[in-house]
A and B are shown apart, each in its own frame.
Chain A
Amino acid sequence: MNCTRLQQVLDAHIDDELDRNTTGDITTHLSECTACAALRDQRIALRQDLRAHAPYFNAPATLVPTIRRSLGRALIQSEAKAKPRATGLSWFHAAAFATVAALAGLIGGYWLAQPLPDYPLRDPAVASHVAALAPARQLIQIASSDRHTVKPWFQGKTDFVPPVKDLSGEGFALLGARLDQVADRQAAAVVYQIRKHVINLFVWRASDQAPDAIASASVRGFSVTTWAADGLRFAAASDVDTRDLTRFAQLVAAP
């Protein structure tokens, strides 16, 4: 690979978007060519600048209720429109329409009053993750890469059994576990590591049995992935890419 070609694909390389062969060629070239290596270093410095200094605008707290109200209204309007129009509005029709509107309002109101399924817990999950990494804190109370050591450790400590998997073949090494909490709930924290990144997997008892699909988001630069299954709620938090964390979640959630 020559310098011109390398400079064409350097960004894709930094973004980890190239196949293994090309990546190999690039790595070889970069180890031999100081000019291209300097370009790469500039790009990496730029990325660090961006991630450290570019503001991330979280949605204001007032936006969610506003959106829920407008969705509720849209639903009620579409229901009203879907009603066949009678030529003359009889008392019967008026009464029927009022019933529909009241029902729609009732159901809409019920839904508006529902707490969000789990994303208010994203922030607390990240907070617990950050707190666990503080130097004074104990990240791991039972250190073991053997899931048959980690899982039984929770016996008598929690009123549920968190799944503990050996995912070392997928690049996620099991480090151990501890007891922790997310917001005000007691949670089991199972700790994994990929490359240099620690992943905290928080597991706690869900308030209902409803399963919830895997959903990832980034919060203040951290990735958080949440889901629910078998009456348990899961939140994984880490500073890896959301893609890596989603893959992790899929592996943990796989039967």
Chain B
Amino acid sequence: MGTLGGFALSDTSKLSRFESVVLVHLDAAYNLARWLTHDAAGADDAVQDACLRAFRFFDGLQGPSPKAWFMAVVRNACLDWLKDQRVRGAEESYDDELHASATNTTESTVARDSDAHWVRSGIAALPREYREVLVLRELEELSYKEISAIVDVPIGTVMSRLSRGRDLLQQRLLQSRERKRS
């Protein structure tokens, strides 16, 4: 590729490659960010930040799964965002959609949506290390190998975290259903 007035012509092709290789996973990135930050604006910021970082290192992108690579960048951006929030002493952010509460809905909607309500608040309440592997496995259907690359832990750890996370969630759902019955 030549240069023209110092501007590399290859840049436009880099941008379009970035779109088709990385930005196609934007929904997955945003979904993960939303579950990690519990905050719509935070997820926006973290994903934007992740795209800039990913674009900078895009040329060095190696490996079989661009999605796993990008999701790892997104996860790091989310952890940085969370750290930032803690440093600022911000209140625990509260995602209205995640914690869709029963107080402002009518009785019949509560009854109809209660399973959905318990599932989403059950996941939201899990400690982060269980929540992230569960979201990556159940909502993104990624393999243990990909999750291990994203979260940067051995496959055995992915397996035990998934197992523990499901135990916790199962208990919680069971309790909430019993409470509902009584």
Contact between A114 and B120 (Cβ–Cβ < 8 Å)? no
A107 touches B141 (CB 8 A): no
- Within 8 Å of chain B (Cβ to Cβ): is A218? yes
Cross-chain contact A117 with B5 (CB below 8 angstroms): no
A218 touches B141 (CB 8 A): yes
Q: Are B170 and A42 neighbours in the complex by a CB distance under 8 Å?
A: yes
**By the criterion CB–CB under 8 Å, are B20 and A60 in contact?**
no
Stretch at the interface among B30-38, B81-89, B101-109: B30-38
> CB of A75 within 8 A of chain B?
yes
Chain A residue contacts of B52, Cβ below 8 A: 70-71, 74
CA distance A82 to B8 in the complex (A): 11
Give Cα A10–Cα B51 distance, bound, in whole angstroms.
Answer: 37
User: B150 at the A/B interface (Cβ < 8 Å)?
Assistant: no
B5/A100 in contact, CB under 8 A? yes
A134 within 8 A of partner (CB) = no
Known: A67-B48, A243-B141. A57 touches B35 (CB 8 A): yes
In the bound complex, residues from chain B placing their C-beta under 8 Å from that of A79 are 6-8, 11
Check if A5 is an interface residue, CB within 8 A of chain B.
no
Q: Decide if the interface of chain B is mainly helix, strand, loop or mixed.
A: helix
Q: Are A17 and B16 in contact (CB under 8 A)?
A: no
Contact indicator B138/A50 (Cβ below 8 Å): yes
- CB-CB under 8 A from A58, the residues of chain B are 27, 30-31
How far apart are B32's CB and chain A's nearest CB, in angstroms?
9
Checking B6, B8, B26, B120 against A55 with a beta-carbon cut-off of 8 angstroms, the contacting residue is B120
Tell me, in angstroms, the Cα distance from A103 to B116 when the chains sit together.
52
Is A15's CB under 8 angstroms from B173's CB?
A: no
A83 touching B16, Cβ below 8 Å: no
Rounded to whole Å, the gap between the CB of A236 and the closest CB of chain B is 14
Please judge, given known A-B contacts A55-B97, A67-B23, A116-B19, whether A110 and B12 are in contact too, CB under 8 Å: yes
Q: Which residues of B contact A (CB under 8 A)?
A: 4-9, 11-12, 15-16, 18-21, 23-31, 34-35, 43-44, 47-48, 51-52, 55-56, 67, 97-98, 115-116, 119-120, 123, 134, 137-141, 143-144, 159, 162-163, 166, 169-170, 173
Chosen A-B contacts, 7 in total, with CB atoms closer than 8 Å, are A12-B159, A52-B119, A56-B31, A57-B97, A63-B26, A71-B52, A242-B141
